Structure 1
Amino acid sequence: MEEDPVESPDVVASVSVDLPTDTAFALFTDGIDRWWPKRNSFSRGTAAFIGLTEARGWYETGGDGETLGWGAALAWQPPQRLLLAWQISPDTQPWSPEPDPAKASEVEVRFLPIEPGRTQVKVLHDGFERHGPGGAGMAAGMASPMGWPALLEAYRVVAEREAGAPAATPE
């Protein structure tokens, strides 16, 4: 008899920025290359470009011109919500692309207005059990200070520059 897989915990992280929701959404998507750390790519710092579009999902183009997908855009609802597949395999170190979409976890990003000109960006990353035995380790990595909290801090720093004024610290 096969045992039910143990579900990995969800990872939740958020940050507040001094940008209206439409601008916060655009920075997260169209502007991802300006804030996503290049070291957090399959190219390990040599990525020439990191992109995120409704049609292509998120991806990177290496310095050698090779494009590697990170996962599809499953829902694209500007300026309130994104739902992205995380087609990254924890079975190798460093992590590598996962060609099977059935083995992808999901990243939901919500853009919640706090007050005019201020937005909370909330990330919920779940479904790590789909990655198999390495999913729990991936969840732990994305929940660690170097996971989603660090990624949202990088986003906040660029948002602060865009807004021209200090933004709040991560929540």
Structure 2
Amino acid sequence: MTQTAVNRSVVIDAPVEHAFKVFTERFGDFKPREHNLLASPIAETVFEARIGGHIYDRAQDGSECRWARVLAYEPPSRVVFSWDIGVQWQIEEDTANTSEVEVRFIEESPSRTRVELEHRHIDRHGPGWESLAEGVGNDQGWPLYLDRYTALFD
């Protein structure tokens, strides 16, 4: 049976404050540009670091795709955002049919941080949600994001 949540974690050789700051301020540096719902290549990905902010891609032609809403912003310990991309890999307009991603930053030592990501309530996306869970959980989903995030600390 497919799980309604995807959980991944990584350990970063950085203090918790820095790990959080890199995740939120440099999100566009590790979010795969090939993950694009726009007609034009992505010029940048913006993470608006506040409750009520958005995560969105801005294309080279100036068009934008707002694909997440910031639901909780608690530096340096956690951030929660919606996943407003539906099972057809298009923007889901009905927020009742969206899932959420919580990222927790846990100090393991003054210079090491465990980053735990939980993408939950995927079944809210309705029929076909299992394929969405597979998509975000496979090597081209959250593991790819976290690998690229981790590489920013090398």
Residue 151 in structure 1 maps to residue 145 in structure 2: yes
Residue 108 in structure 1 maps to residue 110 in structure 2: no
Other structure's SS at 1:97 match: coil
Measure, in 1, the Cα distance between the counterparts of 2:15 and 2:39. Answer: 32
Measure, in 2, the Cα distance between the counterparts of 1:11 and 1:134. Answer: 16
Instruction: Tell me the TM-score normalised to structure 2 length.
Output: 0.92
Q: Name the residue aligned to 1:36.
A: 31
Residue 131 in structure 1 maps to residue 136 in structure 2: no
Residue 21 in structure 1 maps to residue 16 in structure 2: yes
Residue 96 in structure 1 maps to residue 82 in structure 2: no
Is contact 1:7-1:129 (8 Å) kept?
Answer: no
Is contact 2:40-2:60 (8 Å) kept?
Answer: no
Structure 2 unmatched runs, 5+: none
Deviation at 1:34, TM superposition (A): 1.3
Is contact 1:15-1:152 (8 Å) kept?
Answer: yes
Q: Name the residue aligned to 1:167.
A: none
Structure 1 segments (4+ residues) deviating >3 Å: none
Structure 1 unmatched runs, 5+: 1-5, 161-171
Other structure's SS at 1:72 match: strand
Structure of greater Rg: 1
Query: 1:39-89 CA distances to partner (integer Å, 9 max, x unpaired)?
Result: 123238811110111242211101111111112111000000011000001
Is contact 1:38-1:44 (8 Å) kept?
Answer: no
Deviation at 1:8, TM superposition (A): 4.2
Q: What is the one-letter code of the residue matched to 1:11?
A: V
Deviation at 1:7, TM superposition (A): 8.0
Match of 1:87 among 73, 84, 92: 84
Q: Name the residue aligned to 1:67.
A: 64
Deviation at 1:134, TM superposition (A): 2.0
CA pair 45-26 structure 1, distance change in 2 beyond 3 A: farther
